[in-house]
Amino acid sequence: MKFIDTILEDYCIDHSVRPSVLNKELFAETHNTQELPQMLIGEMEASFLGFLIKSSGVKRVLEIGTFTGYSALAMARELPNDGELITLDINPKTVALAQKYWDKAKWGHKIKSIVGSALETIPTLKGQFDLVFIDADKENYKKYLDMVLPRLSGNGIVIVDNVLWGGKVVSGSKFDTVTPPTTSTIALREFNEYIKGRKDLYSTMLPVRDGLFLIKRV
C-alpha cells in the first residue's frame, strides 16, 4: 500500500538515485509471473535503503525475505566490492528467479542466498551485521528482531518493512476495514507496541511506502 500520491512518489523517485536497469527488468518479470508482485519494495524504498547503506559504511547485510530478489539486488549494488548480503527465504521457486538476475549483475557476487525457514537458518549464520532488513512473515517479526539484535555490529541497524500494513495497524481507523483483523495485522500491532515499549532501543517509524521501522540499540 502507498500512502503518498503517485505524482509525488514519481517526483521523489525521479530526483533520487534509482535502482539498476536489472531491477526494472526483475520488477517487470515479477509482475508478469508472480501472484503477489506487490510484495516488492519498489524504487523509492530501494533508493532509501541504498542511501542508508552507502552513507553509513555498511559492509554486511542480512535480509529476511528474499522473494524474487529485488531488494537484495538493489541493496547489494550499494555495498563495497568486498561487502556481503545474506538473504533468507523459504520458497526455492522465487529464489531461483532471483538468482537468474543476481547472476547477470556485476555486483551479484555479493549476494548469498539461504533457503529454509528463517527461524531455523538465522541461528546458523556467523558474524555480525551492519544492517538487517526484515521483510518476511509478519507473525514472526518479533522473533526475528529478538534473534538479530544480538547480531548487530556496534552501529548496526534493523529496518522492518510493512509496519503500517496498509494502515490496518491503526485500530478503529478508516484503514481498519477487515473484521476480525488478520493474524498479520494483529502481529504487526503487537510488534509496533513491543518496539515502542523497549527503552533499550532507539526507533523511528517512517511512512515510506507501507511503513518502515528503523531500530538500533541504545
Ligand X SMILES: C[S@@+](CC[C@H](N)C(=O)[O-])C[C@H]1O[C@@H](n2cnc3c(N)ncnc32)[C@H](O)[C@@H]1O
Query: From the CB of 139, what's the least distance to ligand X, in Å?
Result: 9
Q: Which of residues 82-121 bind ligand X (CB under 6 A)?
A: 88-91, 94, 117-118
Residue 126 sits at the vertex; the CA angle it makes with 122 and 127, to the nearest 5 degrees, is 115
Q: Which of 22, 50, 53, 70 binds ligand X (CB under 6 A)?
A: 70
Q: Which of 19, 22, 40, 43 binds ligand X (CB under 6 A)?
A: 40
Q: Which is nearer to ligand X, 118 or 208 (CB)?
A: 118
Residues 6 or more apart in contact with residue 164 via CB below 8 angstroms: 1, 3, 205, 207, 210, 211
Query: Applying CB under 6 A, what is the total number of residues that bind ligand X?
Result: 18
Decide the pairing of beta strands 212-217 and 152-161.
antiparallel
Q: Which of 19, 50, 65, 83 binds ligand X (CB under 6 A)?
A: 65
Q: Which of residues 171-210 bind ligand X (CB under 6 A)?
A: none
Q: Which is nearer to ligand X, 196 or 207 (CB)?
A: 207
CA gap 98, 30 in Å, rounded: 10
Q: Which stretch binds ligand X (CB under 6 A): 63-71, 123-131, 186-194, 207-215?
A: 63-71
What count of other Cβ atoms lies within 10 Å of the Cβ of residue 9? 16
Does position 53 interact with ligand X (CB under 6 A)? The reply is no
Cell of 15: 530526483
Phi-psi region at 209: left, alpha or beta (left = phi > 0; alpha = psi -120 to 50): left
Q: Which of 71, 113, 185, 192 binds ligand X (CB under 6 A)?
A: 71
> Is 175 strand, coil or helix?
coil
Query: From the CB of 87, what's the least distance to ligand X, in Å?
Result: 8
**β-bridge partners, 112:** 86
Query: From the CB of 201, what's the least distance to ligand X, in Å?
Result: 22
CA-based nearest residue to 66, from 109, 103, 104, 111: 111
Query: From the CB of 172, what's the least distance to ligand X, in Å?
Result: 26
CA gap 159, 110 in Å, rounded: 20
Q: Which of residues 116-145 bind ligand X (CB under 6 A)?
A: 117-118, 135-137
Distance in angstroms between the alpha carbons of the first and the last residue of the chain = 31
Binding region for ligand X (CB under 6 A): 39-41, 65-67, 70-71, 88-91, 94, 117-118, 135-137
